[in-house]
Amino acid sequence: MSEWNTVRLELEDDVATLTVDRPDRLNALNVETLHALREAIAEAEAEDARALVLTGAGETAFIAGADIGHMRDLSTAEAQEYAELGHEVADALESFPAPVIAAINGYAFGGGCEFALACDLRVASENAVLGQTEIDLGIIPGWGGTQRLSRIVGDERARRLVFFGERVDAQDAHEMGLVGEVVAHDNLEERVSRMASDLAERPAFAMRAAKEALNQVHEEPQSAGLTYERRLWSSLFGTHDQREGMAAFLEERDAEFE
Which of 84, 94, 114, 190 is flagged as catalytic? Answer: 114
Q: Which amino acid is at 10?
A: E
Q: How far apart are CA 88 and CA 94, in angstroms?
A: 10
Task: State the catalytic residue, choosing from 10, 32, 59, 134.
Answer: 134
**Pair 90, 144: CB distance under 8 Å:** yes
Residue 134 annotated among the catalytic residues of the structure: yes
12 is catalytic: no
154 contact partners, CB below 8 Å, separation of at least 6: 176, 177
Spatial separation of the C-alpha atoms in residues 255 and 241, rounded to whole Å: 8
Q: Which amino acid is at 88?
A: E
Q: Which residues make beta-bridge pairs with 15? A: 12, 51
| Residues taking part in catalysis | 114, 134
